[in-house]
Amino acid sequence: MSGVRKVHIKSFGCQMNVYDSHRMADTLALEGFAETATPNDADLVILNTCHIREKAAEKVYSELGRIRMLKQAAAHDGRRVVVAVAGCVAQAEGEEIIRRAPSVDLVVGPQSYHRLPDLIARVERGERAIDTEFPVEDKFDVLKAPSREATRRRGVSAFVTVQEGCDKFCTFCVVPYTRGAEASRPVAKIVAEAERLADAGVREITLIGQNVNAYHGGGPDGRTWTLGRLLHRIAEISGIARLRYTTSHPCDMDESLIAAHRDLPALMPYLHLPVQSGSDRMLAAMNRRHTRADYLDAITRVRAAQPDVAFSSDFIVGFPGESEEDLSATLALVDEVGYAGAYSFKYSARPGTPAAEMADQVPDALKSERLQRLQRQIDRHQADFNARCLGRTFDVLFEKPGRHAGQIVGRSPYLQPVQIMADAVLIGEIAPVTITEVGANSLFGTLATPARARESVLIEAGA
Ligand code: SF4
């Protein structure tokens, strides 16, 4: 490859992968690669894969089928396209990917993508490159920071990875195998990254990790800091108005984190706290290490600290051995918590995990029927929650223009999209909005403080 090179990165799955894709793009930018939104004109195509959801590997192989055609068409025009598979499917499948999809030149696991420039150089020398190691060096020390332009392009809300991996070993989950043991980044490096983002105009930071509230990074004082303490430190950064964190485990809701919900106005009152099942029998089979009562206790403690808080969660239905009684316990838990939203999935076996070997696998038709019942219940609570927002006024962080002329879109504290008719100058700003209409997927409203009044407030305040 020579001249201006283009890279297209397609992300599957969670926010961790979106973040990883950005860091790969930032690292490759220094190697002369410009990002392109389409694979059609790319010299390098990276599929950043996720192994959490059903048939993840199959989806990757069918995507690779499409990319093979593209690679053949480019070769016909005398152009070489390098195809890379990154992320958790790369980690789990390794060499098997190249065996099944010979158009793939490079396979790189989530802990090794800081080595991408070297791996690409090997491919250019005519080799196939596979790296699914758990290297001793810290990839975050090697990966390059985004340019100000890249940060601006990505918007006013950004992710920062604070920890990776997991030591919990839930019996259905591949993360401890694909991402490895829990490891936390040092406080100073996280703060430096957050300061760079704030400097480039980012207003909201979501701290991310597979088990984010297990965070235990080394602090500048030589002590181990918790996530609660880290949130306090990041809230001090000028320009950062909103903080979130995801994904949490109920066992790691320690007192410092609960206190952060009470003491930090920047910490948004919306917590994604996966439970997976409302049945103690299923929670034990899943090795979740907590009971239904423990989970409800965590919810109660957060609510006591922050009465305005709303919750979302993850659920798995049809886990091996799940009975009608177990499902009823899950449905009752949904009612008891009254979630503002939740993700729910049919259990699907991941090779290599203990649950894949369990007897009593639930037939697929029954799983589908149970999922529908659960989703109906979750949807009802979500609709109730949204309906209760009608007439309320809350701060919205405006992110981008809306689909219609004169419209802008932002996020409420509860992550709902909020659409208003207002000047695009408000993008990147936080302004109070009164909700006047509730749609299926969005809220609609009007500025609570008229723009002209807001302007004079800003002038008076000397802003
Ligand atoms: S806590 Fe989360 S990441 Fe860790 S094993 Fe369980 S489901 Fe997977």
pLDDT in tens, 211-253: 999 999 999 999 999 999 999 999 999 999 999 999 999 999 9
Measured from the Cα of 176, ligand 1's closest atom is: 5
Asked if 324 and 366 count as a contact pair (C-beta separation under 8 A), the reply is: no
Helix, strand, or coil (residue 236): coil
* Statement: residue 137 has pLDDT above 70: no
Which residue's CA is minimally distant from atom 1 of ligand 1?
168
pLDDT band at 154 (very low <50, low <70, confident <90, very high): confident
Q: Answer whether 316 contacts ligand 1 (Cβ < 6 A).
A: no
Closest CA to 66 of 87, 91, 47: 47
* Statement: residue 287 has pLDDT above 50: yes
* Statement: residue 459 has pLDDT above 60: no
Count the Cβ atoms, other than its own, within 10 Å of residue 462. 5
Partners of 9 in the beta sheet?
46
Torsion on CA atoms 68, 73, 75, 76, rounded to nearest 10: 150
Helix, strand, or coil (residue 344): strand
What's the whole-number mean pLDDT along residues 369-381?
97
Gap between the Cα atoms of 457 and 461, Å rounded: 6
* Statement: residue 460 has pLDDT above 60: no
Q: Answer whether 350 contacts ligand 1 (Cβ < 6 A).
A: no
* Statement: residue 458 has pLDDT above 50: no
Token match 């939104």: residue? 37
Which DSSP symbol is given to 218?
E
Q: Answer whether 334 contacts ligand 1 (Cβ < 6 A).
A: no
What's the sign of the alpha-carbon dihedral 373, 376, 380, 382?
A: positive
Lowest mean pLDDT among 56-70, 125-139, 394-408: 125-139
CA of 343 to the centre of ligand 1 (A): 15
Q: Answer whether 213 contacts ligand 1 (Cβ < 6 A).
A: no
Q: Answer whether 88 contacts ligand 1 (Cβ < 6 A).
A: no
Closest CA to 20 of 54, 47, 59, 42: 47
Position 196 scores a pLDDT of: 92
- C-alpha 201: how far from its chain's center? 21
Higher pLDDT, 143 or 454: 143
Token match 């949904």: residue? 334
Partners of 5 in the beta sheet?
33
Helix, strand, or coil (residue 229): helix
Q: Answer whether 211 contacts ligand 1 (Cβ < 6 A).
A: yes
Asked if 411 and 241 count as a contact pair (C-beta separation under 8 A), the reply is: no
Residue 362 CA: distances (Å) to CA of 57, 63, 349, 368: 22, 29, 11, 10
* Statement: residue 451 has pLDDT above 80: no
Q: What is the mean pLDDT of the chain?
A: 90
Partners of 86 in the beta sheet?
48, 108
Asked if 51 and 59 count as a contact pair (C-beta separation under 8 A), the reply is: no
Higher pLDDT, 19 or 217: 217
pLDDT band at 136 (very low <50, low <70, confident <90, very high): low
Lowest mean pLDDT among 107-111, 264-268, 278-282, 302-306: 107-111
pLDDT band at 461 (very low <50, low <70, confident <90, very high): very low
- C-alpha 60: how far from its chain's center? 19
Measured from the Cα of 287, ligand 1's closest atom is: 6
